[in-house]
């Protein structure tokens, strides 16, 4: 692990929340994009030493939609920047981590990503991000 890449926050309305993060908190909006594989719209905000990723579901089949239904808006995951995600996945599995997929997916910005099941990380959903 290199550092914290970003903190993902589930939101119901990304446009309303962007205004809060830029106007009230003074963060700079870097980009907004849709990630079809996860059925989410994401906005990246510069938080200084890390980034904030706002996640709005694009459909009811999105995992973010289910998260919002169960828990409401708030912190969804912490993303950790790695190099060589496939090797890192194998290392973590050997240490007992349970991953949510066997292969990395393509996430926002074209990064390779995989999530660690919160049951194997003490209730925290972690995402590994390889921007290689």
31-83: pLDDT as tens digits: 999 998 889 999 999 988 899 999 999 999 999 999 999 999 999 999 999 99
| Calpha distance 97→93 (Å, rounded) | 5
pTM for the predicted model, two decimal places: 0.91
| Calpha distance 89→100 (Å, rounded) | 11
Residue written as token pair 């007992």: 96
Please count the other Cβ atoms lying within 10 Å of the Cβ belonging to residue 54. 25
The DSSP code for 90 is H
Residues of the chain with pLDDT > 70, as a percent, come to: 100
Residue 45 burial by Cβ neighbours in a 10 Å radius (0-12, 13-18, 19+): buried
């Amino acid at each position: 692990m290199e550092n914290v890449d970003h903190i993902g926050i589930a939101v119901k309305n990304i446009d309303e929340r962007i205004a809060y993060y830029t106007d009230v908190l003074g963060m700079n909006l870097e980009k907004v994009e849709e990630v079809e594989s996860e059925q989410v719209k994401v906005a990246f905000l510069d938080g200084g030493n890390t980034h904030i990723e706002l996640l709005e579901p694009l459909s009811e089949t999105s995992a973010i939609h289910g998260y919002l239904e169960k828990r409401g808006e708030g912190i969804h995951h912490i993303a950790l920047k790695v190099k060589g995600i496939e090797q890192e996945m194998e290392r973590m599995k050997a240490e007992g981590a349970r991953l949510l997929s066997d292969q990395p997916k393509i996430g926002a910005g074209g990064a390779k990503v995989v999530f660690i099941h919160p049951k194997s990380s003490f209730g925290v959903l972690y995402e590994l991000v390889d921007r290689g």
